[in-house]
Structure 1
């Protein structure tokens, strides 16, 4: 895979001019930065983009077969019997549609999700997929059969090699469908070989999720073929894949919204199969519009919420819960295997490879269908319900015993906690979260809106001290820093015992320490003190920075990140520090027909435009939507803070890690940004990169 192209330095001072600005056109952005668009460890994802297009045809009801061939020359072809990609001239672009689909980013047939759209439910969203496949292929051939003609085009290195050729279909030929053959370019991937187990799983999952679809894999090198076709769908797949016998019969179901539904679009819903077992390996797979979501997302959270609410209700109804035992969602989910297939009209994924679903409404969508179905099933099969209740209660008792053991190991010599800290009830480190909240008013809303079982709140007054060049012994002179250290239960461990100007970044191990300049004292790193000892008193698994979504809030974020990086590096190394992302805008969408008024939140201008576009597609004019801009967290009430920044199922948390720089380069850059004697270096950075940043003032 070629190394990313570095910015070209000007030959001489003053050579930076209009001609220095380079505009990437066509598929150049993909070829320059392939990692932004696809996985680069192997080419399976660019092949999956073609497979997903074929599956979308079947999902729309126009295809019944999908065939993938591994050719002896290393190429891969995908063939379907769908409608075939249109190949006439585009009315506005004056170019063949077949060419636009494979050579233009954001050109596709899946933007319009209305009743008149070509695809109402699909995995394709952005018109990016197969154009990325073409960009990262040495050669790509596509044949589309429709309207009595076969259209053929050939591309090389993302550009047209053989222009559109049309011929009439013979009497014995397939009347409609698409065949795409691709030769992945090994320069863009760590390995040119498709991982066989992942490919088999992907193809089999398409047959599982689309009962009746015939899926075939043929390998020319060995001459062997494999075929999948499931009439029983999710149930058959889950039973075949489980390593042990389920404790109770499978809970399976399906639900879809009709045209009169108040909250969801017609056809939105989910299919699921859930098995509970006492031992053995678990199987957990989820999909959105046939796209595998290996990292889960809000639809998984909806299944978990529906299961938990139904099981808890059954246990309370039959008075089965022993005294002193408190149920949590993870107790119900601990021994659950499932396959979930959700249908979402306009899904929002995390990244182009779509490993995680972020759509907030998907949680309510799945839960709304799962919960009543399970409640009915449990009360119709009370004996099975009692067995499930026993399994769940045992999981809760095991969890609580483990929590008590952790509490005893902490001992009694703990510093007095800050008075303004509103602590949580749980002592389970894996679940506990501390939110460092900007301002007392926002802190008050956070205290009312939090989950008091596992979420603690520490309000901060004003801006924290810049600690990049502050010695460890002087840190506790600042009240805010003293309260943070005592609240999290970890002492500062990463600053030098020598001069404040020492540029050594101490980390959680030898690999994290940068070299000190001559004259500086040696760093006493967390690794030298023992990483486990440094964090032995840690009281929260997540330490979350929650500040306003404006410039001042960003400044407070930077100051807190500076504190953690310089004086608490083991927290970052172990993955305990996060940044919460509150929204900047709220959109009030008025009621339309039987659908009630709703609220949506946007992090920035881009998300705001996406929300307004979706409203327009749903028939709500932009002018009817009321847009409010939050001046700060203090303007949010407890319910809004919970929905947008505290609820684990709908919030957005960014984990803090070292980025493209190693520890030494990170320390050097932070010294430029936060050092007292680095004004000239900061000015140089601003002059070079200042125009590349959009500032919200």
Structure 2
């Protein structure tokens, strides 16, 4: 029997087809996963953060950044110098490992025996990313009476480590790193000077007494910053309007007897309230600028709100019918916040946003009592601040009532199963579309009834991709959703009337399983097809409930706690952290939520509804434009598209992890 002919056009798929990315290859293949690629500032910042961590640990007083004529940048510090002896397990110089291995550094071991108690991050990619994305990188380390030098090109060692004794007159200790960023990885090879100056200035602010210098060889300019007055000086110099009450500053850090937080954890802050102008808001975690905010800022907001609210209640200042909300106090606040967190969890590799849930409690717990005391000591200033917050609340409520009147009496009767919120202010109102009645019941009990509404959905929603707009209301679930949000179905080219919109955030809340994902897709299809302007204007969100709960027993002075993980990756990270804190894995109880219905009201609030601790993803167009997204959704959701779906499955089926 003749052999079956093989098609020459099909590529062979065998063991040799599988490629394993080694060393720094993953960074070069996908630099956007590890750093910002619009310009090289962030890879320079990684080196700068290391120098700042030395100063933060108390070992350095000077940091100098030089911009050289050849386009390279050098960062010099007078810290301890990177160790250059052989690593006991890896049998290679430690300084080489730091620059060539992802997840190698001195910041993983916290507490006793670690080199750093507080540092700017624990992703462990750090300067190895700087090295991978540079044509050349030179390191010089002075320590223990010796000087060591080595150089890399594209992440590989090109000049091996050389060590010699220090000569007379040479500096005793410190590290100098000189970087030549590789232009092919960045949209622009130029460093944004404004951002660089802001970054260096902020380092000086956050480390009072440390001298930070920027030298530019091209312009022959040298700028030096040293703030002995710290946050207060900086905020006063940056404000554009005069504060209504004197600038308020404070700090609070846990001592060794604190029952919830490690020694040294806490925050320092300076806050000013102004009547006009754009507020100045800057926050940092272990000196890393968190431009997208995060849970430490939520803690500051909560602390300010609780303190002002209790002052207003004590002095009976709130007019009848006015309800105070956190944003009323926070709206006119300018602040600089510097938090110290032992094991910071950041969102993404570039550390723009802090995700650590405990940071809300940490910062709020220190801010509230200090502000309460200050307000009671300065009652006149307290009353001025209360007046500012009450005025903001009245303006907000008036705006909500105007919208209500414009609707007139022709408003459709709201669905019976909708549990509405009390507020009518769409800037803060949220609607949760919840899968199933049992989860709906927990959500109703756990929500903040002031501004969170709940609409339970029974079973799977209709696939509306090919449903005519006129026929949409024949389906009860979709009729209820449309009436609840107060906007009629429309097309991408229409100009719908959004004045009837009743909620600023419409959040899809479904189980973290396959069925939950399907309901999510069906609802996203409904909004993209029939309410596209809600997605355009940023009103649609997807809530991410956790998949696991870890019960950690009491350890030392730390009480027993419950931790939540979104997925397997976060679960592993939590268990690793517990192991480091001396709690064996078998002592931690792991439970997996089969669905939202298994969560009680408190758990649902803590993990999924509380704005300070939940994970809420905004829905907007991704890498594809509108037309390409329509084409893709047609393949996924169209009735006559089974062949296209099969093709998609054949192409991408092996990249999906199925949780059975």
TM-score of the aligned structures, taking structure 1 as reference length = 0.92
Secondary structure class of the residue paired with 1:536: helix
The correspondence of residues 460-479 of structure 1 with structure 2, limited to 5 A, is: 460-479=457-476
Aligned twin of 1:624: 587
Aligned twin of 1:199: 196
Structure-2 change in CA distance of 1:399 and 1:143 (3 Å):
same
Distance in 2 (alpha carbons) for counterparts of 1:31 and 1:412: 61
Distance in 1 (alpha carbons) for counterparts of 2:407 and 2:191: 49
- Is the Cα contact below 8 Å between 1:263 and 1:595 reproduced in 2? yes
Q: Greater shift after overlay, 222-231 or 579-588?
A: 222-231
Shift of 1:546: 0.2
Distance in 1 (alpha carbons) for counterparts of 2:557 and 2:287: 30
RMSD between aligned residues? 1.4
Aligned twin of 1:520: none
Distance in 2 (alpha carbons) for counterparts of 1:66 and 1:222: 20
Aligned twin of 2:504: 541
Distance in 2 (alpha carbons) for counterparts of 1:681 and 1:280: 54
Aligned twin of 2:129: 132
Aligned twin of 1:186: 183
Aligned twin of 2:408: 411
Distance in 2 (alpha carbons) for counterparts of 1:467 and 1:19: 45
- Is the Cα contact below 8 Å between 1:184 and 1:192 reproduced in 2? yes
Shift of 1:50: 0.6
Distance in 1 (alpha carbons) for counterparts of 2:13 and 2:67: 49
Post-superposition CA distance 1:594-619 (Å, at most 9, x none): 32211110001110111111112222
Is 1:604 aligned with 2:567?
yes
Shift of 1:331: 1.0
Aligned twin of 2:36: 39
Shift of 1:534: 4.1
TM-score of the aligned structures, taking structure 2 as reference length = 0.97
- Is the Cα contact below 8 Å between 2:397 and 2:424 reproduced in 1? no
Aligned twin of 1:637: 600
Aligned twin of 2:48: 51
- Is the Cα contact below 8 Å between 1:27 and 1:103 reproduced in 2? yes
- Is the Cα contact below 8 Å between 1:321 and 1:393 reproduced in 2? yes
Shift of 1:152: 0.8
Aligned twin of 1:512: none
Distance in 2 (alpha carbons) for counterparts of 1:140 and 1:534: 57
Q: Greater shift after overlay, 236-245 or 373-382?
A: 236-245
Post-superposition CA distance 1:114-143 (Å, at most 9, x none): 221111100031221111111111111110
- Is the Cα contact below 8 Å between 1:107 and 1:126 reproduced in 2? no
The correspondence of residues 414-493 of structure 1 with structure 2, limited to 5 A, is: 414-493=411-490
Distance in 2 (alpha carbons) for counterparts of 1:391 and 1:554: 44
Secondary structure class of the residue paired with 1:313: helix
Q: Greater shift after overlay, 62-71 or 681-690?
A: 681-690
Aligned twin of 1:682: 645
Picking from 330, 336, 339, the partner of 2:336 is 339
Secondary structure class of the residue paired with 1:416: coil
Distance in 1 (alpha carbons) for counterparts of 2:153 and 2:116: 29
Q: Greater shift after overlay, 276-285 or 264-273?
A: 276-285
Distance in 1 (alpha carbons) for counterparts of 2:9 and 2:128: 38
- Is the Cα contact below 8 Å between 1:493 and 1:534 reproduced in 2? no
Picking from 222, 241, 244, the partner of 1:244 is 241
Picking from 164, 169, 185, the partner of 1:167 is 164
- Is the Cα contact below 8 Å between 2:134 and 2:180 reproduced in 1? yes
Distance in 2 (alpha carbons) for counterparts of 1:281 and 1:548: 40
Q: State the 4+ residue runs in structure 1 displaced beyond 6 angstroms.
A: none
Distance in 1 (alpha carbons) for counterparts of 2:220 and 2:463: 67
Distance in 2 (alpha carbons) for counterparts of 1:118 and 1:47: 22
Aligned twin of 1:302: 299
Q: Greater shift after overlay, 17-26 or 288-297?
A: 17-26
Distance in 1 (alpha carbons) for counterparts of 2:490 and 2:379: 56
- Is the Cα contact below 8 Å between 2:510 and 2:520 reproduced in 1? yes
- Is the Cα contact below 8 Å between 1:287 and 1:293 reproduced in 2? yes
Is 1:388 aligned with 2:351?
no
- Is the Cα contact below 8 Å between 2:273 and 2:333 reproduced in 1? yes
Distance in 2 (alpha carbons) for counterparts of 1:537 and 1:393: 26
- Is the Cα contact below 8 Å between 1:101 and 1:127 reproduced in 2? no
Shift of 1:14: 5.4
Aligned twin of 1:514: none
Aligned twin of 1:691: 654
Shift of 1:93: 1.4
Aligned twin of 2:369: 372
Distance in 1 (alpha carbons) for counterparts of 2:424 and 2:347: 32
Distance in 1 (alpha carbons) for counterparts of 2:621 and 2:332: 35
- Is the Cα contact below 8 Å between 1:534 and 1:570 reproduced in 2? no
Question: Number of residues paired by the alignment?
Answer: 654
Is 1:561 aligned with 2:506?
no
The correspondence of residues 642-653 of structure 1 with structure 2, limited to 5 A, is: 642-653=605-616
Secondary structure class of the residue paired with 1:16: coil
Aligned twin of 1:666: 629
Post-superposition CA distance 1:47-86 (Å, at most 9, x none): 1111000000011111111000011111110000111111
Distance in 1 (alpha carbons) for counterparts of 2:518 and 2:148: 57
Secondary structure class of the residue paired with 1:259: coil
